[in-house]
Chain A
């Protein structure tokens, strides 16, 4: 029974041999000019042959006959190619790759490898060797031009001369080879011996016998072998002597001191763990000596610190392995896919030498392979398509790895067709991953990011290359599990780039120590962007509420805030109600505080800006303390359900602290659907998609900045200010054959508008039948922005609300009110006096668009009604179940649950079935109207005829 350790050693060495053969085959495949690159061909064939031969020798020695047979057949082909200095053609290379695959399978089932059928691959190899010999495959090969290197006879065996004092060595030798000749002279026995073992293995086999071993009968060209294998020679100062003489003068083969040893990974793991413990002791000692102010102890601490750091660095290095271990597998994947899909793909790899921890290296094999397959399958086009796109018919995939301060970045980019955001959006809609409304609000980058959601696959059929439904979400979660991040960017027609950020090691990490509720916690450095500190009035001013979520105005964008104290307090993940409750709590608190100047001045808030992949948010903490290097220990097994911590550690003062899992905290406290981040002109900023709106930003006169939701605008005319006429106190302009009334914001809001000259703009409202437009003196552009209406303004006539856009306070006018004013309509007449009702009526408005929600709320509030709002049908249904309402006003197109589903459910439920309900929608065909009424609405209203709106309300409440 062969020792398990030897078998394992054989397995590891064999993997290296297989990798070496594969690498040489790739080198040979790249040869373009066999004549000019003859030396490279010779070297590669020699290396591949030697690797195959060593593999065979070891397999013979350990008795694995199938591996022996396959490698022997491969060796024959390589031998033939080498003898004639030929590059393998495509067919030959494919056969060799297939053989490598067959060998890999044998190594997987090593102990049972002899039971696996290898006849087919051996038959193919043997038949191919015959074809090479017969010259029938000369096409694609180069003719022999030199004598090959060989220490091996034609049957692939080595010949050795063994000199020994031992009388009979025959038994030992015959178990591993064949004795060709035997002689005895002066008590010295000499054997000419043939074996498949190379010199290393032969030496190992005869370890217990005192003897001298040397090569015998080296073929021509053996000089090269001698040079190549000079590491097994005793001395090289005899290199000027003829080869034979050098052989005969060589004595017992002495290997130079080995520069490396094999160490079990488990032992390295143990060393790493001990180094971690030492780091903790070092931290404790450092703290103790500094607290006790003991000079001698400080000296010792300082030395301990230096040595520990060096020791730790060295031990970490023992576990570090070059990325090449993974990257070297990629060419084969690309080659195979390119062949099967009939594509031309060139793979460029840089950064093979970058080193990373073994655990991380092993964990990125699958994600990297998947991404590469994806690039080949979905990215690179077939040559004919590429030519049509004016691209080179060979697509290029670049894999670049680089190390940057404590982490590595791997970028996989291709110059293929890129990702079509519209196609992704359509599929997401079809799979109900997003609603139509959500999709409209999404940028291209948001849509592309959808492919990282679970279950998303654009492949129309399942292929064995990529798109098996376990796509990018698996890649993303695998990378995030390692504490890294994964991002995708793509340009249609230009290509796609995948970016993976990974830590170098997982065991010892840099972290920020924070304090929360008098306890210390740790934020991994890889998740931390910066810590910001806001104080005084800024706390009240910069933190706002957007749809029940606290956000911070941060570098011109809005950063969602999560308070660690609330995360700790609430064990169940936050729902929208909880988020709103938390937000209201703090908003009320800030309002109270603002009454007291002393309290405002003393307010301080520490916010850690953290990031996991594409998620970025602000974590409100009590205090940021210091940074510390920590050893990650797992949470107690009983706490596997606690998702907000990734582990624990022992601090310098001996106490235990928990390490925050930033991804877990994000999942616990932020809404996934609304949690999208957008790349915009190189700046990252967070968006709250539900309230993300396209608005037209403009000026009216020189006063204030205004904005209108694009959804409210039908058209913008460019007009000449001088063409605006005044008749009877009313302004109008003739465009085409139409006379259009002109409204000025200054007239409504009571400021004097400077008379414009030259080019101005007339903004026409989209809904309603108003023959009126608003004059804008300047249009700044269309912005994607987050609207946070200041509620205190909503009762002011003509103003829907105000919001910060960038650093400017922007007014959102009620375009309908403005137009009605300009038309001379008595707005009071359009409303009814809500106070005539016996009690204030409670109205629930279900509407997903913030502007409409605000507009309707404004109208109803001005009628002295109590208005609650819901952002979708589901939320409305929940609210109806919780409270009594006198009227339901609902949009039809909404995410999660639309207006038709809502009313059907309302009419089904006994306790709320009788509530009057009005549908308010921009769908205005007769068919739409019928659908609404059939579903259960009492009245149907098209957005947004104010007169009709109020009439309907009057009817409902029987007020005429």
Chain B
């Protein structure tokens, strides 16, 4: 029930966001320099087959996707403007106030300890969906409710 509800809310939220703010790009787009790196890396392998197995379009898509996932799972992205690992070409800013961080840690622990997984399911599903789109930052706001609600839900118990 929780799983279904979480996924449904996430799909609705992400769908609405994608309609209102249509994506400019996705993880499936290739930059010219990436094609160059792909070909260069293929030449490092002892055989053409191995080169194609390890360095191909899917591995590039996968790498793009993981990069977005990593931003979404990074607490520094939300609370410290990505410090100390600021990203090249991004304008970094603090997305959530720092004082919320200890409340969030406490709150999420309390929620999980009580077996309430709705917010976690929402967060993971939303993250899995928005990580397909580039730039990730454009849709990161979808994830803020997870942090804010987790921080305060325990107050109402």
- Are A and B interaction partners? no
Interface residues of B (CB under 8 A from A): none
